[in-house]
Structure 1
Amino acid sequence: MEPTLNPDPALISALRRDLAAAGYRADAVRSLWGPVADTAVGHGLHGPALAALAPRSDALAALARLLYLGVATDRAAVARALPMLGAQGLVDLGFARIDGDAVAPTVLVRPQDVAGAPDDAEWWIASDLDEAALGGPLPTGHVLGVGGASLTLAGLQLTTPAGRVLDVGTGCGIQALRAHLALRTQPAPPMIVTTDVSPRALEFTRINALLNEVEGIDTRRGSLFEPVAGEQFDRVVSNPPFVITPRVAGVPEYEYRDAGYAGDDLVAAFVSGVGAVLAPGGTAQLLGNWEYRAGQDGLQRVREWVAASPVPLEAWVIERERLDPLAYAELWVRDGGTAPGTAGYGALVDAWLADFAAREVDAVGFGYLLLRRPASAIPALARYERITHPLPEDGALGAHLGAALAAFDALEQVDDAALAAARTIVADDVTEARHHLPGAEAPSVIELRQGGGLGRTLEVDPALAALVGASDGELTVGQLSDAIAELLEVDAAALRADLLPRVRELVFIGMLRLA
C-alpha cells in the first residue's frame, strides 16, 4: 500500500523551488538521455535512460532518476538535489520511503510541456508510479499521469470564455490545469470544479494545483455528475474512464479507466446526463469509445445517445480510429501491465473477446465528442464524421474548434441570398494541389489542403477551386460564382445553387472565412 499523500502547502512550495532551481524541465530531461532513450522511456523501457544517467551526479540527473523514472536514488544525492525540501520532506509528502541509504520513490513528478500554450508554459505533474517503475501490473487504484489521451483532450479544450468549468473524472488534474491556463486572460478567473470517485486522485489534483500555483480548483468526490447535482457550468471537460471492460471475475477494474459500466454504457450515461449541468450555450468535451454491434454503425449509436438526451444537445463527434475486438483487448490488457507471454495474458484477452461476442461487437470506435446545450430550444449542429489521418502537430485544436463553432453560429444567421452577397477570404494555411495524367492539360484531381486545424484534404471541382482561389475579399460569393459560370459556360443559377452549400462547409471547417 502506498503512503498517504499529504498536500502540505509549505512542503510543496519547497519542492517547487527545488525543481525550478535544478532546471527540472521537459526539454532539459530529454537532453540528459537523448532522443533514442527518450523514445524508449515512452515505450516503458528505462534501460537506455538509466545508462545515460549513470555517470552523472548533478541535481538534474538525480531528479530525473528519482522522480521521472521512479528509481531508488542515493539519499545524499537526493539531499543535494532537494536542498529546501530534503529527503525527509519528500517522505512527509507521501512521495517516497527511506530505504537504508536510498530514497525509494512512491510517486512520480514529471515536467510536462503544454502544447499550444502561451509563454512556453510547463507544469510539474505528480502521479502514481507507472508499470515500468513498478516492474509489473498496476494496482487497481492507480492514478495515471499525463498520457496521450490526456494531452489530446488538453489540446482540444476550447479557449473561448467560461465562468464555471467542470472536470469530470479529473485523475491527476491535468484538464483542470489546462482549463485554468486557457482561461487565465479573461477578465475574471474561472471557477473550476473537479470530481472523481478516487480520493487519491483528488489528492493528486490538489497537489498539482499547489505545485503549479493554480488557485480556485474545488475538488469533490463522486461519480459523474452526482457531486454537482443542481449546478450548471459553461464548460465541462472529461477524459472519463471509458475503457470497455468485461464484468467478470479475474479482470482487474482499474479506477483510472473503468467506471464499472458494461460495454460503452459509461459514455452513453455521460451524454445522457451532461445536458442537465450545462448552462444554455455551454459546451462539453470528452473522449470516448463506442461499440459497433451486429453491423450497426458506431457513430449511429452515438447519434442515438444524443437524440435521447433529456436536455436537447448539439453534437460534433469525430471518430479517430476503429479497432477490432482482438486489437482492443490486447491494447488494454497490455495497458494494465500484463505483457504478451506472461501469466494471465491469454485469459484476460479471452475474457474481453467473450464479452464482445456476447453483445455481437464487431469493432470499437474511439474519438472526440463536443456537445453543446443550445441557447435556443432547437439544436442545429449535428455533425458525425471520421477523420483518421494524422493531425497537424501543433497539438492545440481548441482555438480551431471554437472558431468552427463561431462560424457555424454566424452561418445559421445567413440565408443563401446573404451568403451570396458576402465576401470570403481564403485561410493562410490552405494550399492547392493539382494532379494530372501524363500528357493531359486539365487536372484529373484538384485538392484543397489545410495546413492547420484538422488538416483536412478535400477533393474539389474546377468551379469551387476557382472560387477559393479568387476569395481575396474583393468580390462577393455571388459575383465570383457568376463569373465562374460565364467562364465555364454553365448555367449561373445552377452553379450558384451548387456552390453555396459547399462554401458554407469551407467556412465551417476554416478553409474560408467571411470577410
Structure 2
Amino acid sequence: MTRSSRSPLAPSTCTSPPPPTLTCAQAAALRADLEDSGWGVEAVAALLGPVAEAALDREVRLPALRVLRRTLKELGLAGAPATGRPPRPARREPRAAGAPDEVPQDTLPGTGASAPESSRGGPAPRARTAPGGRATSGGRASDEVPGGGRALGDAPGMPGAQARPAPAAAPTAVLTALFMLGEPVPAATLDVALPRTGATGARATGLVDAPDAQGLVRPLVDLRPHEAVDDVGEVRWWVASDVGELVTGRELAPDHVLGIGRAGLTLAGLTPRRPVGRALDLGCGCGIQTLYLLRHCEQVVATDVSARALAFTSFNTALAGVGPERLDLRQGSFLEPLAGERFDLIATNPPFVITPPAVRQAGLPLMEYRDAGAPVLPVLVPGLAGLLRGGGTLVMLGNWEHHAGQDWRARVSTWLPQDVDAWVVQRDLQDPVQYATTWLRDGGMTPERDLTGFEAALGAWVEDFEARGVRGVGLGYLVLHRPVPPGRAGVPGAAAAPVPPGLGGSAAAGVAGSASGATGAPGSALASKPPGGRRPWRVLEEVGTRGSGALGSHVAEMIEVRDRLASMDDADVARLRPLTAPDVTEERYLTPGEAEPRLILLRQGGGLGRVVQAGTAMAALAGVADGELSVGQVAEAVAALTGADPQEVRARMVADARELLGYGMLRLPS
C-alpha cells in the first residue's frame, strides 16, 4: 500500500537506498538460486523453532538471532558480530543517467511461469509469509493466518534451536539471517548460498551493499519467502521490500515501501479469484496484490505515485517470472494514469489513514504507503466504481469515522454511486486513542524511542478528533459490483460509468448513493422488479465474527447470489428450492423441563462465520431446505402445523430466505 497523492512532507532524517532492479537474465539466475536453496516458509519455521518464530512474528528478533548465530557458527559460516544492531544500510551512489528511480523496460518481468486459474473458479489463496514482517499496518489482524512450522530439535537453553544443523540448512540460515533479520554475513558465504548470483550479483541488483573491511555484506532490502495455495496449485514467491524498523531501529522513511503485512494478506484473501481479463492493482506498493492477480487475470495494470514502489513491484514480478506482456506498470496519482480504462476486477489497499494536519506539525512525516494527506475514500470509491466494466468487481480496504449523533452507514453510503451494487462490512471499531496509537507505532514513532514526540503527536491527533466530534474509527471492507444491463451480458465495458474528476486533477465530491437495505437483510428492499431492469442492492453491516478459510470465494458467491436476488420479486423467491449450506449448524437452548427451545441459533462455519438468531419460520426453512421443496411449500406446511396466517408465514419465510441466501447459509440450486 503506497499513497497516491503528493503533499509536503515533514522533515525527516530517514533516507532510503535506491530500489533493487533486475534484468531478465539476473532474474532467472536469482530465481534459480532461491528455488535450489529450499528457502521457504516451512524451512524458516523449522530452523527457528516455535518459540523464536512466535517472537519474530511479534517483532521481537533476539530469539531468532540467537538461533541463527548458533546455526551459522556450527555450520562454519559465522562472521557476523555477536551483539548489536547492524547499521542502517548505506545509501548507494546514484545509477547512471536514465536509470534512477524509473522503471526501465529491461527491468520488467521475464518469462511467464504462473498458469491462469482454472475455469471453474477456485477459492482464494491460503497464504503464508515467513515471520517478522510488519504486522500492524491495516489496523487489525488478517483474515488469513500465516503458516506455522515445526522445530527439528531443541538444544539446552535454546528453545527451538537445532541440536546439530544439517548442511542443507545452510542456505536457509544464511538468507534468513541476512535478509529477514539484517544480520551481516561474509560475502563468501553469500556466494555459496546464491551460487549463480553471488555477492557481486546481489550488490549489482541492489540487494546488498559492498563488503566492509571484514568482508561482511549487509542487506539493502528485506527479502522473504511467501507461499500460497489456490485452485492452480501451490506457489512460492520471494518478495522484496524496504528494510523495516525491526532491523534499522529507526522510524520509517517517508518513501518506505511496506512488505507483506496483515492488511495485504486480508485483501488477498478477500479478493475473488475467478479468471477475468483485465485487473487493476491501485497503489501497488511492493506488488503482492499484483502477484496474486496475475495468477488468474490475463493482464494486470499496477499503478502507484511512487517510482520506488513501482520498482519493487517490477523486481518482485520479475523474480516470480511474469512475462512483460501481462503487466503494465504506471506511475501516477490515484486515477490520473487510468483515463478511459475499464477493468473486470480492481483490488486496492489505498492510503486511507486519517491523519490530521496538526499531527504533521507535531513531527510525524507523511508516509507514502498509508497517508494521502486528506480524506480520499469519498472521492476514490466512486472514481474506481466508474472504472468497472459491466459485471466487474471492486474490492478494497478502508476506514471511516464515527461521529456523535450519526450512524456510520449514512456517512459511507454517500460515497456509493447509485448505479453499482455495494457491500460494506465493518469488521472492527477503534476508539480515537487506539487508532492514533496504532498508526503512530506503525510509522516507527514510539514512546520508548521518543516519549515527548510521541505524546505531542498523540495529543494533536486526539484533540483533532475531539474537535470534530469523532467518537471512533471503523475499519473494514468495501465490495462494489457493476450490474450487467439487460441484454448486454458479456459486452466489454458494458455499463461503465464516466470517471469523476478529482484525485490529483480537478476537485470532485463524493457521489451520493441510496442506502436502501443498509440495515436490513440482503436484498430486503427489492420486493418487486423495477421496470426495465433492477435496482442496485445495498448492504452496510457490522460483522465481528470470523469463519474459517479465505473470503474470496465467499465474496464471489455472495455477489452472484445477490445479483440474482435483486432481479427477483417475492413470488420468484417463493418458487426457489434452496439448499442449506453444508457448513451451517443449529444450536437450540432449552430450559430444563421445557419442550420448546427458548433460543435457536444458526451458525456459519465458513464465510464470515455469522450467527443468526432464528425464529420458527427460519429454523423450519433451514431444517428442511434440501433442494426439493420450494420456499412457498415450506411456508404452507409451517402455516398448517402452527395454525398461523398463511400469507404472514409466506411473507416471513420469503424474507428469511432472502436473508439466509444473502449470507451464504442457504444456497441456490445451480
TM-score (norm 1): 0.94
Q: 2:304 aligns with which of 196, 210, 218?
A: 196
AA matched with 1:218: D
Q: Which residue is 1:382 aligned to? A: 538
CA contact (8 A) 2:305 2:332 kept: yes
Q: Which residue is 2:524 aligned to? A: none
Change in Cα spacing, 1:4 to 1:424, as seen in structure 2 (3 Å) is: closer
1:283 pairs with 2:393: yes
Q: 1:225 aligns with which of 329, 335, 338?
A: 335
Displacement after TM superposition at 1:115 (Å): 5.9
1:256 pairs with 2:369: yes
SS in 1 for 2:246: helix
Q: Which residue is 2:441 aligned to? A: 334
Unaligned runs of 5+ residues in structure 2 are 1-15, 73-169, 486-494, 496-533
Higher relative contact order (CA 8 A, sep 6+): 2
Deviations 1:280-326 (A, max 9, x none): 232211101111123322232110111xx4x7332100001111111
In 1, Cα distance between equivalents of 2:320 and 2:298: 16
Q: 2:571 aligns with which of 409, 417, 420?
A: 417
Q: After TM superposition, list the pairs within 5 Å mapping 1:31-430 onto structure 2.
A: 31-57=46-72, 58-100=170-212, 101-114=215-228, 116=230, 118-181=232-295, 183=296, 189-215=297-323, 216-247=326-357, 248-249=360-361, 250-261=363-374, 265-306=375-416, 309=417, 312-343=419-450, 344-376=453-485, 379-389=535-545, 391-394=546-549, 396-430=550-584
SS in 2 for 1:458: strand
Paired residues in the alignment total 501
Q: After TM superposition, list the pairs within 5 Å mapping 1:14-33 onto structure 2.
A: 14-33=29-48
CA contact (8 A) 1:450 1:456 kept: yes
Q: Which residue is 1:186 aligned to? A: none
SS in 2 for 1:319: strand
CA contact (8 A) 2:547 2:610 kept: no
In 1, Cα distance between equivalents of 2:566 and 2:389: 21
In 1, Cα distance between equivalents of 2:640 and 2:182: 70
AA matched with 1:336: G
Displacement after TM superposition at 1:514 (Å): 2.1
Change in Cα spacing, 1:287 to 1:117, as seen in structure 2 (3 Å) is: farther
AA matched with 1:179: L
Unaligned runs of 5+ residues in structure 1 are 184-188
SS in 1 for 2:60: coil
CA contact (8 A) 1:295 1:362 kept: no
Percent of aligned positions that are identical: 43
* Greater CA drift, 37-46 or 449-458: 37-46
CA contact (8 A) 2:19 2:312 kept: no
In 2, Cα distance between equivalents of 1:465 and 1:412: 24
Change in Cα spacing, 1:357 to 1:50, as seen in structure 2 (3 Å) is: same
Deviations 1:24-53 (A, max 9, x none): 111111111122222211221111111111
Displacement after TM superposition at 1:401 (Å): 0.8
CA contact (8 A) 1:170 1:194 kept: yes
Deviations 1:198-238 (A, max 9, x none): 10100111111111112311110011110011111111111
Displacement after TM superposition at 1:379 (Å): 4.3
In 1, Cα distance between equivalents of 2:556 and 2:315: 30
Q: After TM superposition, list the pairs within 5 Å mapping 1:490-505 onto structure 2.
A: 490-505=644-659
Q: Which residue is 2:600 aligned to? A: 446
CA contact (8 A) 1:23 1:60 kept: yes
CA contact (8 A) 2:353 2:370 kept: yes
In 1, Cα distance between equivalents of 2:404 and 2:63: 46
Q: Which residue is 1:508 aligned to? A: 662
Q: Which residue is 2:632 aligned to? A: 478
AA matched with 1:270: L
Deviations 1:99-130 (A, max 9, x none): 32111001011111326564232321111111
Q: 2:611 aligns with which of 457, 464, 477?
A: 457
SS in 1 for 2:183: coil
SS in 2 for 1:14: helix
CA contact (8 A) 1:127 1:144 kept: yes
RMSD: 1.7
CA contact (8 A) 1:325 1:363 kept: yes
In 1, Cα distance between equivalents of 2:231 and 2:548: 14
AA matched with 2:179: L
In 2, Cα distance between equivalents of 1:169 and 1:256: 8
Change in Cα spacing, 1:175 to 1:120, as seen in structure 2 (3 Å) is: same
Greater share of strand: 1
Change in Cα spacing, 1:318 to 1:447, as seen in structure 2 (3 Å) is: same
CA contact (8 A) 1:434 1:445 kept: yes
In 1, Cα distance between equivalents of 2:228 and 2:353: 25
Extract structure 1 runs of 4+ deviating beyond 6 A.
none
TM-score (norm 2): 0.72
CA contact (8 A) 1:5 1:200 kept: no
In 1, Cα distance between equivalents of 2:259 and 2:458: 25
SS in 2 for 1:453: coil
In 2, Cα distance between equivalents of 1:97 and 1:509: 53
In 1, Cα distance between equivalents of 2:183 and 2:594: 64
CA contact (8 A) 1:282 1:373 kept: yes
Greater share of helix: 1
Q: Which residue is 2:138 aligned to? A: none
CA contact (8 A) 1:7 1:203 kept: no
* Greater CA drift, 150-159 or 296-305: 296-305
In 2, Cα distance between equivalents of 1:134 and 1:341: 15
Q: 1:468 aligns with which of 604, 622, 634?
A: 622
SS in 1 for 2:218: strand
